[in-house]
Chain A
Amino acid sequence: MISVGYYPIDNKIYLVLNKKEYQGNTYVFLANEMDSADVMVRKVENDNILKMLDNKEELINVLSLFIK
């Protein structure tokens, strides 16, 4: 067993698979515990504010960090 961070969103548990810093911001890659294909990226502020990304370019740049 390993300890994994998660965020409860819309009554679902989204596990933190990875965390990256990009241009001064923190991003987390999240996966729905009940559906591993249900994944999302969020920008984290103050450890407890999850924000969607502003645009697709920002997402692509962050995704490239996650898979490197």
Chain B
Amino acid sequence: MKSRSGPITHVFAPLRLVPQRLAFPLLILASVLILLVGQFNRPLAVHARVAIADVVAPVLEVIHQPIAAGAHLTRSLRETVALYQENDRLRAENATLMQWQEIAHQLQSENTALRSLAHYQPPATTFFVTAEVVGTAGGAFSRSLLINRGSADGVAEGQAAFSGEGLVGRIVEVGRRASRTLLISDLNSRIPVRIESTHERAILAGDNTSEPQLIYVPSRGGIHVGDRVVTSGDGGIFPPDLPVGIVASTDGDSIRVEPFTALSQIDYLRIADFGLSGVLPPSAAPLPRPAVVKHGHIKAGSRPR
């Protein structure tokens, strides 16, 4: 071994050993403290993470550019090879979709007519912002994505994150230029959903696998493989009817849902604010406004009869 490089090392080696001896127990203590504080003081951990994410996100964004370009290149090469079959498939799909489009048009006009009859107010989406995924959780125990948009772009906690295909997760930590999206597959994710066809309600619970489970299902009989799962709007986190996934398996105790989006291969996300504060900040939930009927007589706040 020729790791010793000169007389200087001999002089400093014993000196260096002193702080090293102390460093180990002190730093172990610090780690255990972080472990405990992280468990019992979540907001502090979130603050620290957001601060670091803000600093590192621009760096990650730069590093991610060539990787994204490389991935794009390999994907386009792969697609070129499969171009003919893809073309045939798309033509067939297009024919089917044209029929659906026809149906959609009919339904839309019917819907508009019915809405005007019922004085229906469509849920207002205040804004959309597109974000690039610059970091992943990089571990076995959580499923989240770091994105390059933060409060400076209007992103706020509790907003919904989508891909083109469907719901991906929600925003849980927000910095100025970066934020973290908790994926629907994460252990801590609970999304109120329903089966689209039967209106059967359930909670979509992540368990760190790629297919989250349906829990609190009132009756199992009504759920079949292939059923579409959409948000139910319960709890006020998300508006109803956002596409989530399809039922992938119903063996034994667990009903698993395959998300429409391949959660491990997301490049870009759309963040939407539906103007719903939801159950996240309990104190901030808006109280139901009493309906004000015509003029006079009934004051705002009193109960209309």
- The reply to whether chain A is a binding partner of chain B is no
